[in-house]
Chain A
Amino acid sequence: MNRLRRFFRTPEAIAGANTLALLIVMALAAPLLFPGDPQAIAGPALLPPFQDWSLPLGTDRLGRDVLAELFHGARTSLAVGLAAAAAALLIGAVVGTLAGFAGGLIDEALMRITDAFQTVPSFLLALAFVSIVGPSLGVVVAAIALGAWTGPARVARAEVLSIRERDYVAGARVIGMQPMEIAFREVLPNALPPVLALSSVIVAAAILTEAALSFLGLGDPNRVTWGGMIAEGRAVLRTAPFLSIVPGIALVLTVLGVYLAGEGVVESSAVRRSLS
């Protein structure tokens, strides 16, 4: 309770949490408010916003309802962002724990692999991966995670290196616990807090990467995405700029909201740590 109150003390955290809540409501409400196919034609093409109140944000080049697309796009952005970040954190935590706990050659090998992934720009990696495997939601998630796990891996490894010297790890060895159980049951859970602190940045970056992939036409073609909407609108940027501006604003607000809310969480737990 205290922690919640501390979280809501900074205005940035409040703004971030509200944006995030709005986004989640949009994503959850999309199939209820706009039950049909958001890619179906709903009216005349290129209807400007605020003209027809049954299509408040107007229509795009093909006559699709922009508001419906926006809501369904929030679903995709959030799902891909969260899934990719979760996958990146999981891979990173496991690789970092193995490297830090095993030490020696295994550590050396895993960290060289991490270096290799880190030197390739993560967007190029995602681009190459989707181009080869083909665009679908799962592939996009995997492609983004592929470029995002190295940060969590490094943080997890550093934390594990300090935890493995603690008495309780020696104690686990003394009672005959297997190394894998020590690494994943005793050490990993205690190494997680600083790894999880990275999650807001990773989610925000994942949402941006997904939008960029979709913008380049490498998103899942069966789903509405904000990046895809911006790309669609680009063709009529002079005559109907709102088609690019509306999803663009949604994207910026989302990324900002995720980031601010995440910072709020980190800050409130940091305060707690320094108080105790």
Chain B
Amino acid sequence: MTVLAVSDLTKRYRRGGKPFAAVEAVSFEIGQAQTLALAGPSGSGKSTIARLVLRLLEPDAGRIEFEGADFLALSGAALRARRAKLQMVFQDPLAAFNPRATVARVLDDPLRIHGIASHTERPHRIAALLERVGLDAGLAQRAIHEISGGQRQRVAIARAIATRPSLIVLDEAVSALDVSVRGRILELLLDLQSQERIAYLFISHDLGVIRAVAHRVVILDAGRIVESGDARAVIADPQSAIGKALVAATPRLNRNRP
């Protein structure tokens, strides 16, 4: 079953008075419990695609179908309600939360907004979410700036899964973490995917990470798709110049594990 189908997505900005396309005629599909990776050099339009898919930006052209329905047709309360099923994890886990928030509040918000649990039930839900992502439930009362980066990214994942989404967009979600923490977060993501059947749109410039988690990969350059296919196959034998350059820039690929 297709969770997300994007076709001919285009977003233009003006640069020095002239329009240029940050994203140009991009199309892809993600199936249930599938991971599609977006790779490409800096400025190739990966984050713009993420923001378009999440309706944080409006496209200039193209279609976005989410779970079989036109996602671009939604607005206002209908869009906010639908957002429960389409979540995001940001790169910088410190910037992704209100600096004044506590862990409990961060997790309480989605439960409250989407009416998932009653006021009295929510503390139990929050504890369960923390345990689900491998954190101690006692962390709930801490301020966001009082926990480590790895813990913070787990809280971000807990918040993303709080509303039982069918798709999570991860924009460089593990890039800011050091290697050992990154490995455990990737394991958590794979575990969540197999248990909850969540699809991921996984953005990374690290082909080693992509090979470890993604089923398929799309390689972008200057807003256009230059290559796409099975993640292992593309990384093993890239056809495009950009794909070859990305592989060459990732020495860890020579080892078999990321």
Contact = CB atoms under 8 A, between A and B. Distances in A.
A169 B56 CA distance: 10
A175 interface: yes
A27 to B, nearest CB: 33
A9 interface: no
B244 interface: no
Contact of B56 (A170, A175, A186, A189): A170
A168 interface: yes
B48 to A, nearest CB: 13
A171 B155 CA distance: 13
Nearest to B87: A174
B99 interface: yes
B98 interface: yes
Query: Which of under 10, 10 to 19, 20 to 34, or 35 or more describes the interface residues of B?
Result: 20 to 34
Contacts of A173: 56, 83
A109 interface: no
Given A175-B113, A176-B110, A166 B80 contact: no
Contacts of A113: none
Contact of A175 (B51, B95, B99, B159): B159
B88 A174 contact: yes
B98 A168 contact: yes
Contact of A167 (B86, B96, B100, B110): B96
A190 interface: yes
A168 B95 contact: yes
Interface string A104-116: 0000000000000
A178 interface: yes
B101 to A, nearest CB: 8
B8 to A, nearest CB: 24
A244 B85 CA distance: 71
B114 interface: yes
Contacts of B114: 176
A181 B216 CA distance: 38
A183 to B, nearest CB: 13
A171 B97 contact: yes
Contacts of B147: none
Interface string B148-167: 00000000000100010000
B98 A178 contact: no
A177 B54 CA distance: 14
A88 B18 CA distance: 44
B90 A167 contact: yes
A208 B166 CA distance: 61
Contacts of A167: 90, 92, 95-96
B84 interface: yes
Nearest to B114: A176
B249 interface: no
B109 interface: yes
B100 A189 contact: yes
Contacts of B87: 174-175
Contacts of B99: 168, 190
Interface string A177-201: 1100000001001100000000000
Contact of B88 (A171, A177, A190): A171
Interface of B: 51, 54, 56, 80-81, 83-84, 86-88, 90, 92, 95-100, 109-110, 113-114, 159, 163
Interface of A: 166-168, 170-178, 186, 189-190
6 contacts: A167-B95, A168-B96, A168-B98, A172-B109, A189-B100, A190-B99
Given A167-B96, A176-B110, 9 more contacts: A167-B92, A168-B95, A168-B97, A170-B56, A172-B98, A173-B83, A174-B83, A176-B83, A178-B80
